[in-house]
């Protein structure tokens, strides 16, 4: 499921997909991944692109949503 950044006005507009312990967001074809309990968020702009690592202030889904929102805005 892909979202458009322009349609995301507030953090609660973010939609993630959970696959086991991993949560994924796809926004304007940029992929974000977070494994439950990790203190980092990974992102990449395409399948062949290297992952970028973003440190988190906390290892909760709320903190991850806040970070994803900050990165896309």
User: Residue 1: is its pLDDT beyond 80?
Assistant: no
**Domain total in the chain:** 1
Q: What is the pLDDT of residue 2?
A: 83
List the domain range (segments joined by +) for residue 39. 5-72
User: Residue 47: is its pLDDT beyond 90?
Assistant: no
Stronger pLDDT, 2 or 27, i.e. the higher one: 27
Q: What is the pLDDT of residue 8?
A: 94
Q: Which residues of 29-44 are buried (b: 16+ CB within 10 A; e: fewer)?
A: ebbbbbeeeeeebbbe
Determine contact, residues 23/38, Cβ cutoff 8 Å: no
């Amino acid at each position: 499921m892909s979202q458009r950044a322009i349609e995301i006005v507030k953090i609660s507009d973010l939609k993630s997909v959970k696959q086991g312990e991993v949560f994924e967001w796809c926004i304007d074809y940029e992929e974000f991944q977070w494994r439950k309990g990790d203190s980092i968020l990974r992102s990449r702009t395409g399948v062949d692109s290297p992952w970028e690592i973003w440190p988190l202030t906390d290892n909760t889904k709320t903190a991850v949503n806040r970070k994803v929102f900050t990165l896309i805005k």
